[in-house]
Amino acid sequence: MKYPIYAYTSEDQLMLYEFTSIGPKGNVKKIVEYSVTSIENVYNLAFGDYDEKIDGINDKSVTNNGDSPKVLATVASTVYSFTGRYPQAWIHATGSTAVRTRLYRMGITNNIAAILEDFRVYGLKGEMWEDFLIGEDYEAFLITRKNK
């Protein structure tokens, strides 16, 4: 992707990333977390604002900090970092709401040529995974790095 990103930090295993969104609503700490699932080599990508009350991700908060392209590019950058460390990983992602899932679909659509250079992308329709197609609605996404 050819967008600016925020600098981020991560712990040694590259499962948790932190960065700060900067905009009119102030500085907002964001978290990207990769977690194991019950399926081998499939990891869930969770993303949202850091919530001090729960000491974790609030994936329902709406920041409206005017920097969503930069925030999404930063999240995408963590996918490159994570799959650089775990090249066989499959990353499962979905929004916490239908609106957020649509936002993620639009982000993938707008950057599909660059994404497909390095990754295979699938969308979930009902109970079937299919190659990601522009213009289709999906319930979730599955991404894996191409073997080069």
Predicted confidence (pLDDT) per residue in 3-23, tens digit: 899 999 999 999 999 999 999
Residue 130: band (very low, low, confident or very high) from pLDDT cuts 50, 70, 90? very high
58-92: pLDDT as tens digits: 888 888 898 988 998 999 999 999 999 999 999 99
- Dihedral pair phi/psi, residue 80, rounded to 5°: -60, -45
Read off the pTM. Answer: 0.91
Query: Could you state, in order of their start, the residue ranges of all structural domains in the chain?
Result: 9-145
Instruction: Please state, in angstroms and as integers, the Cα–Cα distance from residue 50 to each residue in 26, 66, 78, 108, 144, following that order.
Output: 14, 18, 16, 24, 26
H or E, element range at 71: helix 68-85
